[in-house]
Amino acid sequence: MSKAFPIPLNALRAIEIVARRGALAPAADELGVTVGAVSQHLRRAEERLGVELFARTPQGLRPLPVLLQILPQLSAGFTQLQDGLAGLTGAQDGVLNVTVGSVFASRWLIWRVHKFSALYPGLELRLTVTGAMLDLNRLDIDCGIRYGDGSWPGVDTSLIGGQDFQPVCSPLMLERLRSPADLARVPVIKDQTSMLDWPLWFANAGVDPAAALQGPVYSDASLAFDAAISGQGVLLAADMMTADAVSDGRLVRPFNRPVKGSRGYFLATAKGRREPGKLRLFREWLAAEVPDSVLGYVHQQRPEPARE
């Protein structure tokens, strides 16, 4: 009688992690063994299968096409196994672990966590705030909120919002911005982490998309927001992220000309992963809360000039 698995399950798991993460160390950490032991798992698995799975390059191990073809099935299989064990034990039923970027966390989510907690008092929302794109197959992460085009390998996504964007600034700068062309004569904040598109906004505003902009440069998105609020310059930002600051008067939208881009905020989960009830509640809450938060602010209009 043939064995169900021609290689040990730990070796299969090592193959999956190394192929997905591109390194031996993550597999060693997860399996609780040394990097050398992981390397041995891979070598012996290739010998037993009679198939070379990885190319050994100066940059490290690279999965070959034969492995890449079945990698989604391997990842989904281990994810389902993890979810099945969690369901069997009831572990973490009362905790939802979400990985999220700093801007979404600090400018939108953190101000609304209390609403979610009030609706579902038995469910704790735990945030892992990081600019890194964490592995959603990890057992300690239920889902992530990511900004981009929604197309990431091994990930299922659903759009939350945040596609509309436009310039914002402190009310102190408002009088210097009579038209979009004035942006060439004021400081414009450059957020090095941003994927928003000034040329696209300029084209929609009837301004030369190649217009030169000058101003302070920040490598942290949250600091770029704070710089705009403090009056250091104009920032291009998603309406969803600036709605609260516009509502309370810390920021204004000098032109009220939003442009819809191809990127937005997505709720992301590992492909093939079972959706537990706690994640469904979070998804439904986001679907209701995001439109309310974007539409709920009072539009800041340019004040009428004083009449003599």
In this structure, the answer to whether residues 151 and 169 fall within a common structural domain is no
How far are the Cα atoms of 122, 123, 253, 267, 285 from residue 118, in angstroms, in the given order?
9, 10, 32, 21, 12
Burial of 146 (0-12, 13-18, 19+ CB in 10 A): buried
The answer to whether residues 59 and 70 touch, using CB atoms and an 8 Å cutoff, is no
Domain boundary among 242, 260, 278: 260
Q: What is the mean pLDDT of residues 225-244?
A: 95
The answer to whether residues 118 and 100 touch, using CB atoms and an 8 Å cutoff, is no
Tell me what pLDDT residue 275 has. Answer: 85
In this structure, the answer to whether residues 138 and 174 fall within a common structural domain is no
Question: Distance between CA 40 and CA 275 in Å, rounded?
Answer: 35
- Where do runs of H (alpha helix) occur along 50-134? 65-89, 102-107, 113-119
Question: Distance between CA 84 and CA 86 in Å, rounded?
Answer: 5
SS3 39: helix
Q: What angle do CA 83, 88, 92 make, to 5 degrees?
A: 65
Q: Which domain holds residue 63?
A: 9-89
The CATH code of the domain that includes 219 is 3.40.190.10
Over residues 156-177, the pLDDT tens digits come to 999 999 999 999 999 999 999 9
191 confidence band (pLDDT: 50, 70, 90): very high
Q: What is the mean pLDDT of residues 60-74?
A: 86
Question: Distance between CA 18 and CA 15 in Å, rounded?
Answer: 5
In a domain, 136, yes or no: yes
Q: What angle do CA 21, 24, 29 make, to 5 degrees?
A: 90
Residue linked to tokens 């941003």:
194
> CA end-to-end span of the chain, whole Å?
98
In this structure, the answer to whether residues 169 and 151 fall within a common structural domain is no
In this structure, the answer to whether residues 191 and 249 fall within a common structural domain is yes
Over residues 256-277, the pLDDT tens digits come to 999 999 999 999 998 877 788 9
